[in-house]
Amino acid sequence: MKLASMSNSTQVVAPLLAPDCEYSPEDPSPQNGSISGAVFNISTTMVGAGIMSVPATMKVLGIVPGLVVIVLVALVTDVTVEFMLRYTSCGKSTTYASMVGESFGSAGSFAVKICVIITTLGILIIYFIILGDVLCGNESEGTTHFGILQEWYGIHWWTSRAFALPIVALFIMLPLVMLRRVDSLRYSSAISILLALVFVASCSSMAFSALWSGKTQSLRILPDFSQVTVLDLFTTVPVFVTGFGFHVNVHPIRSELGRPAHMSKAVRISLIICVAIYFAIGFFGYLLFGDSIMPDVLVNFDQNSNTSAGRLLNDVVRLSYALHLALVFPVMNYSLRANIDELIFSNINKRTLASDTPRFVSLTIILLALTYLLAVAIPNIWYFFQFLGSTTVVCLSFIFPAAIILRDMHGISTTKDQIMATVVIVLAVGTSGIAMWTNLCS
């Protein structure tokens, strides 16, 4: 959002807003959050588990349509986040639920809380499932893929998911989820982005090496309609929607920036970073594995080389991204914990969650344990992506922000805004409905 300073005055107006929607550039309770910290936290939220299924979408869409869909989803994400920031600045809301509540009352606020809880809990379960695939292996369609622990030490009770995942949760995740401010996670988020870049660089180097030796798979530039139908193409959209769906963290991150208007800049930088990473991993992953690509591409790295150096590189690829997900986990957990606390204790006169140590600690531990138990019971991430991307994520990312524009409680929506919001809702409902119908039929 561009801000124009008025000469000889400290007043600042936002040209994108209606004249009666002016606001101060400083947050009423200024925090010490930085743009770089916001970029790290936003980027690490988007470059989470969604990247693991991007190569599988390339198998369905082809390279060119895959890039087009990635860019389109990123553009719509930018538009809807801008909607949220504008209406937050004009109102008194400090959370996603309260922002929707200003337009649609308690029912709207409740719907947002439920969607946030389902979405974030589902994504955290996905993280645990992927960690289990990397460390302890996976079996799909009769093919067994060994995890790193099983490759190193063999199949034992202590190389199983039930034992390995609690170790990761206790020694990596728990210390981070105990941090009480989201900006405190900026360093772990920066490390997670670095690990994601290591993952992309490793995949690209392996792809170039395979290309040099003539071992790469043939690429499909456009969809192969002898293997997929037009309706099948829509099943890939929820994967990208889930990947770019960081809207649940817009308010926590924005509230800790000294100048909330900096949030727009941070969002756009993050989207550019993530589009590049998504396309790179989709292209190189598909180049490496072709039609044998798994819904979780990390699983494919257990059998890509017969040399010691190749196996070592495979392990580095998998471990780097597994650690990345473990560092992303606390950022998503922040929104889950806040919304559950707000839902349960909304009618109780209480201190903030961060200042109430017993409530904060107990809720954090319960959620971490629940996520682990559900992840052990659920075998495949593709079903989660399809369900979340077609339901709660599409509501949070597209439908709710567009509905606020159409409701226009603050009287700031232009005709262009109304048209864009309508198009967003039609596209969101249409693609999600087709994707759900296709999955049910198949």
- In percent, how much of the chain has pLDDT > 90? 10
**H helix runs in 91-160, sequence order:** 96-136, 148-153
The closest of 348, 347, 350, 299 to 321, measured between CA atoms, is 299
Express each pLDDT in 150-200 by its tens digit.
Answer: 878 877 888 888 788 888 888 888 888 888 877 777 788 888 888 878 878
- In percent, how much of the chain has pLDDT > 70? 80
Taking the CA of residue 63 as centre, how many other CA atoms within 13 Å lie in the half-sphere pointing to its CB? 12
Report the C-alpha gap between 344 and 361 in whole angstroms.
15
**H helix runs in 137-221, sequence order:** 148-153, 161-168, 174-177, 186-212
Reported as type and span, the H/E element at residue 13 is: strand 12-13
Q: Model pTM?
A: 0.76
Which of helix, strand or coil describes residue 3?
A: coil
Q: Would the pLDDT of 307 be above 70?
A: no
pLDDT (average), residues 428-436: 81
Residue 10: its pLDDT value, please? 39
Q: Would the pLDDT of 24 be above 60?
A: no
Burial state string for 144-174 with b = 16 or more CB within 10 A and e = fewer than 16: ebbbbbbeeeeeeeebbbeebbeebbeebbe
Report the C-alpha gap between 348 and 141 in whole angstroms.
50
Q: Would the pLDDT of 422 be above 90?
A: yes
Report the C-alpha gap between 101 and 409 in whole angstroms.
11
Sorting pLDDT into bands at 50, 70 and 90, what band is 383? low
Which of helix, strand or coil describes residue 139?
A: strand
| Beta carbons of 327 and 192 less than 8 angstroms apart | yes
Which of helix, strand or coil describes residue 24?
A: coil
The closest of 87, 96, 99 to 421, measured between CA atoms, is 87
Report the interhelical angle of 186-212 vs 262-289 (nearest 10°): 30
For the beta carbon of residue 386, count every other beta carbon within 10 angstroms. 22
End-to-end CA distance of the chain: 44
Q: Could you tell me the two tokens for 22?
A: 């002016």
For residues 367 and 220, the model is more confident at 367
Q: Could you tell me the two tokens for 57?
A: 């979408």
Provide the CA 170 distance to its chain's centre, in angstroms. 23
Provide the CA 145 distance to its chain's centre, in angstroms. 26
Handedness of CA 442, 72, 91, 341 (dihedral sign): positive
Q: Would the pLDDT of 28 be above 70?
A: no
The CA distances from residue 224 to 22, 62, 350, in Å, are 52, 8, 58
Q: Compute the C-alpha angle 416/422/427, nearest 5°.
A: 125
Torsion angle of the four alpha carbons 219, 220, 226, 231, in this order, in degrees rounded to the nearest 10: 130
Residue 1: its pLDDT value, please? 40
Q: Could you tell me the two tokens for 266?
A: 């941070």
DSSP state of 27: -
The CA distances from residue 55 to 101, 191, 222, 272, 431, in Å, are 38, 23, 14, 19, 20
Work out the mean pLDDT of the chain and round it to a whole number. 78
Reported as type and span, the H/E element at residue 138 is: strand 138-140
pLDDT (average), residues 425-439: 81
Provide the CA 200 distance to its chain's centre, in angstroms. 17
- The most confident of the ranges 138-152, 259-273, 279-293 is 259-273
Residues with Cβ within 8 Å of residue 166, at least 6 apart in sequence: 372
Express each pLDDT in 46-65 by its tens digit.
Answer: 876 567 778 878 888 888 88
The CA distances from residue 256 to 29, 184, 250, 259, 377, in Å, are 9, 10, 10, 9, 37
The closest of 383, 296, 322 to 56, measured between CA atoms, is 296
Residue 306: its pLDDT value, please? 60
Per-position DSSP letters for 378-417, written without gaps between them: ---HHHHHHHHHHTHHHIIIIIHHHHHHHH-TTS---HHH
The closest of 278, 231, 284 to 433, measured between CA atoms, is 231
For the beta carbon of residue 374, count every other beta carbon within 10 angstroms. 15
